[in-house]
């Protein structure tokens, strides 16, 4: 498992734990002191990323899609920040 | 006629009950069983709360907490880990229907609005506080209050801390630090970044004096009269249930 932390400038701290298989995400956990409304969406978001390519712009698009579809609000970090941290963590796996 | 809200002062409780009672009030409000509410509370024993999205193992030094008798609990709100010291901190909750004029669709604007009464209340004590986005209140550049908000069931719930006293050394014994080597450095950094009412004013402000100033700040900021009330039986029973089934469970507290 790979871990990474990313402090968003003017925002919050995002942490990720990622397991990859080749270049594919097998498991991801996103933690940190950001705000996401509704809160329960985080688990759904993590699920949605399983099976996707460990690629920053691809992940950012996926995350933004889930958030917009659910009319959710992310505060203190952006989908791009999440994606960046996940890729950093993924690169630490193995 | 001036708008009236319920004021609760629930005193000292453990972390699990405190967080359970917050949620119980939210549920009661959503069922229209109770009016909009401002609640003051404190923590006994002292406790660490972590944000909804944080990992308990990553943020909290469980062994130290157990050794010195500090509870640890996950909040229903996001944000960061907070050390709530029994005699150092006053905590508040605002529970309000979502279609109230104080609430904006914009979360950032709502934070600023729901922090404005604290800023005003602190000014009555001679503390020139200001709101700092996203969710902090600072004085002379140092943090004195942290706040966290969530919405659901057509209710907005914001809770937050006001530091009367601060002890970074204890704070960093219960919170995880990246390594022992930098613990001292982090304590020093916290001393420079965080302040308290007593430290800023160089005098001892009692909880009673603090609450009085904050109540005045609330009433004047929002043109709302606070009427001291009690929790209902519904809230009491729901809080006991939520403590038992949610906030005191390993399943909830270690879920991330």
pLDDT of residue B7: 98
Whether A48 and A22 have beta carbons less than 8 Å apart is answered as no
pLDDT of residue A47: 96
**Once rounded to an integer, what is the mean pLDDT over residues B23-31?**
98
Whether A14 and A85 have beta carbons less than 8 Å apart is answered as yes
ipTM for the complex shown:
0.96
B92 forms bridges with which residues in the sheet? B40, B160
CA dihedral sign of residues A32, A34, A35, A36? negative
Q: What is the pTM of this model?
A: 0.96
CB atoms within 10 A of CB B210: 21
Pairs across A and B, CB distance < 8 A: 58
CB atoms within 10 A of CB B238: 21
Measure CB to CB from residue B58 to each of A31, A36, A42 and give the nearest one.
A31
Tens of pLDDT, residues B165-207: 998 888 888 998 877 788 888 888 888 899 999 999 999 999 9
pLDDT of residue B90: 98
Closest residue on chain B to A42 (Cα): B53
Whether the pLDDT of residue A94 is over 80: the answer is: no
Whether the pLDDT of residue A27 is over 90: the answer is: yes
Helix (H, G, I), strand (E, B) or coil at B29: helix
Task: Tell me the pLDDT of chain A averaged across its residues.
Answer: 96
CB atoms within 10 A of CB B131: 19
Torsion of CA A43, A48, A49, A51, to 10 degrees: 130
- Residues of chain B with pLDDT > 90: what percent? 90
CB atoms within 10 A of CB B154: 12
**Which candidate, B86, B77, B78, places its Cα nearest to that of B15?**
B86
Whether B243 and B252 have beta carbons less than 8 Å apart is answered as no
CATH number at residue B170: 3.30.930.10
pLDDT of residue B185: 87
CA dihedral sign of residues B82, B85, B89, B95? positive
Q: How far is residue A56's CA from residue A79's CA, in Å, rounded to a whole number?
A: 10
Report the gap between the CA of B223 and the closest CA in chain A (Å).
Answer: 29
Chain B residues close to A15, C-beta within 8 Å: 55, 58
Mean pLDDT lowest for which of A24-38, B80-94, B172-186, B207-221?
B172-186
Q: Please tell me the total count of domains within chain B.
A: 1
Tens of pLDDT, residues B39-79: 999 999 999 999 999 999 999 999 999 999 999 999 999 99
Tens of pLDDT, residues A29-83: 999 999 999 999 999 999 999 999 999 999 999 999 999 999 999 999 999 999 9
**Which candidate, B89, B75, B3, places its Cα nearest to that of A35?**
B75
Whether the pLDDT of residue B153 is over 80: the answer is: yes
CA dihedral sign of residues A67, A70, A71, A72? negative
Which CATH number is A2-92's, of 3.30.390.50, 3.30.9.10, 3.40.800.10, 3.90.1150.10? 3.30.390.50
pLDDT of residue B47: 98
Q: How far is residue A61's CA from residue B146's CA, in Å, rounded to a whole number?
A: 32
What is the extent of the structural domain holding B140? 3-253
Whether the pLDDT of residue B15 is over 80: the answer is: yes
Domain range summary for chain A, segments of one domain joined by +: 2-92
Chain A residues close to B107, C-beta within 8 Å: 35, 37, 73, 75
Question: A39 in contact with B at a CB cutoff of 8 Å?
Answer: yes
């Amino acid at each position: 498992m790979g871990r990474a932390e990313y402090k968003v400038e003017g925002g919050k701290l995002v942490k990720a734990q990622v397991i990859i298989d080749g270049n594919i995400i097998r498991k991801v956990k996103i933690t940190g002191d950001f705000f996401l409304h509704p809160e329960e969406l985080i688990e759904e978001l993590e699920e949605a990323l399983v099976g996707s390519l460990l690629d920053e712009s691809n992940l950012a698009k996926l995350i933004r899609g889930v958030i917009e579809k659910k009319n959710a609000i992310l505060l203190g970090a952006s989908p791009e920040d999440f994606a960046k941290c996940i890729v950093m963590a993924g690169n630490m796996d193995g | 006629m001036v708008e009236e809200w319920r004021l609760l002062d629930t005193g000292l409780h453990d972390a699990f009950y405190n967080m359970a009672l917050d949620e119980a009030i939210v549920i009661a409000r959503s069922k229209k069983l109770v009016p909009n509410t401002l609640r003051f509370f404190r923590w006994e024993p002292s406790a660490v709360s972590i944000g909804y999205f944080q990992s308990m193992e990553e943020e909290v030094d469980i062994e130290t907490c157990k050794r010195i008798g500090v509870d640890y609990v996950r909040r229903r709100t996001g944000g960061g880990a907070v050390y709530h010291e029994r005699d150092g901190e006053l905590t508040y909750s605002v529970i309000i229907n979502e279609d109230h004029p104080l609430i904006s669709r914009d979360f950032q604007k709502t934070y600023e609005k729901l922090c404005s009464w604290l800023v005003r209340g602190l000014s009555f004590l001679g503390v020139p506080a200001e709101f700092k986005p996203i969710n902090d209140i600072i004085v002379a550049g140092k943090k004195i209050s942290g706040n966290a908000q969530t919405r659901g069931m057509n209710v907005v719930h914001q809770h937050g801390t006001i530091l009367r006293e601060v002890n970074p050394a204890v704070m960093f014994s219960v919170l995880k630090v990246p390594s022992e080597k930098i613990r001292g450095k982090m304590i020093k950094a916290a001393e420079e970044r965080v302040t308290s009412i007593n430290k800023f004013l160089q005098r001892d402000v009692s909880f009673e004096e603090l609450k009085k100033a904050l109540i005045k700040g609330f009433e004047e900021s929002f043109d709302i009269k606070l009427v001291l009330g009690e929790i209902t039986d519904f809230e009491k029973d729901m809080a006991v249930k939520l403590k038992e089934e949610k906030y005191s469970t390993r399943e909830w507290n270690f879920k991330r």
